Amino acid sequence: MKEKYKYPEDIQISFPIEKDNFSQQNNDEIRYILSIIFSKWQSSSNTRTLIVLLKNPSNARANIEYSDRTTNKLIRLINRLNEEHSQNVVYKKLVLLNTCPVRTNHIRKLTKDKFESVTFHQKNKKYGIQTTNLQCFKSVLKSNTRTDFLIATGDLNSVPCKYIRELMKKSYQDILELISQQTNSGLFALQLGNDNLLLSSDYTKHPLASYKGYDHITLSPIKLRQQWIVKK
């Protein structure tokens, strides 16, 4: 049963008609990619796409009736930054990707049994879903020019299931290695008010790490270091 979070009604957004294979595989159990267009900013100058790396997807779909708290918070944040021009750039498109594409509204529900069950029921079994997830990320890099990246997975060490935790960490490293090869792209983490930019684990914070409003959140630049862990 999907929770009913609608997308913000006061911000004009739309969903591109995705013809890629990965979008076609999105369903109630898996989401490889979710792209959101900010209608107001399409004709602005100096526009870019913001690619966001999260832990795993929840309920949000390319359907105005079904969003989730994380997605709505990101939409409101980016719209506010666009309004303020605080990043010296306007983000016309938001692309949400994950370290694991299996949907769940709480990480404790993502177990090895659930992961294997979802994998078994996928129609396309040529590749495992984690391999397909990485291929999706590569496809997004090819099809989107002028991109910035927001790393917002939260602490992967806190994932309860060891099997899922290690799977996510491997995906995280593979994706950050791909990001490290990009040139002319900004790399950001969420700065929540005056809090420390990074978690004690060196992972970056998740949009729901603060239950306060989105109005005190900013994007702060980060760099990659050895083992593809981020730093200030």
DSSP string, 41-76: GTT-SSEEEEEEEES---S--SSTT-B-HHHHHHHH
The residue type of 147 is T
Taking only the tens place, the pLDDT of each residue in 213-224 is 556 788 888 887
> Residue 1's pLDDT band (boundaries 50, 70, 90)?
very low
Q: What's the rounded mean pLDDT across residues 199-216? A: 74
Q: What's the rounded mean pLDDT across residues 124-133? A: 78
- Alpha carbon dihedral 13, 14, 20, 25, in 10-degree steps, equals 90
> Residue 176's pLDDT band (boundaries 50, 70, 90)?
very high
Instruction: Count Cβ atoms below 10 Å from residue 220 Cβ, excluding itself.
Output: 14
Q: Is the pLDDT of residue 135 over 70?
A: yes
Q: Which residues contact 218 (CB under 8 A, 6 or more apart)?
A: 81, 86, 190, 191
Q: Is the pLDDT of residue 58 over 80?
A: yes
The whole-chain average pLDDT of the chain stands at: 86
Q: Is the pLDDT of residue 196 over 80?
A: no
| pLDDT score of 212 | 57
The Cα–Cα gap between 178 and 151 comes to: 13
Tokens at 131, concatenated: 């391999």
| pLDDT score of 217 | 81
The Cα–Cα gap between 58 and 26 comes to: 12
Phi, psi dihedral angles at 206 (to 5 degrees): -85, 150
The Cα–Cα gap between 41 and 110 comes to: 36
Q: What's the rounded mean pLDDT across residues 152-159? A: 94
> Residue 125's pLDDT band (boundaries 50, 70, 90)?
low
The Cα–Cα gap between 79 and 40 comes to: 9
| pLDDT score of 228 | 53
Phi, psi dihedral angles at 212 (to 5 degrees): -75, 175
> Residue 22's pLDDT band (boundaries 50, 70, 90)?
confident
Q: Is the pLDDT of residue 152 over 70?
A: yes
Q: Is the pLDDT of residue 2 over 60?
A: no
pLDDT: which is higher, 135 or 196: 135
42-46, 202-206, 212-216 — which is least confidently predicted? 212-216
Q: What's the rounded mean pLDDT across residues 164-192? A: 92
Q: Is the pLDDT of residue 193 over 80?
A: no
Helix (H, G, I), strand (E, B) or coil at 227: helix
- The terminus-to-terminus CA distance of the chain in angstroms comes to 40
Phi, psi dihedral angles at 14 (to 5 degrees): -150, 170
The residue type of 8 is P
What residues are paired with 76 via a beta bridge?
none
The Cα–Cα gap between 128 and 125 comes to: 6
Helix (H, G, I), strand (E, B) or coil at 223: strand
**How large is the C-alpha radius of gyration of the chain?**
17
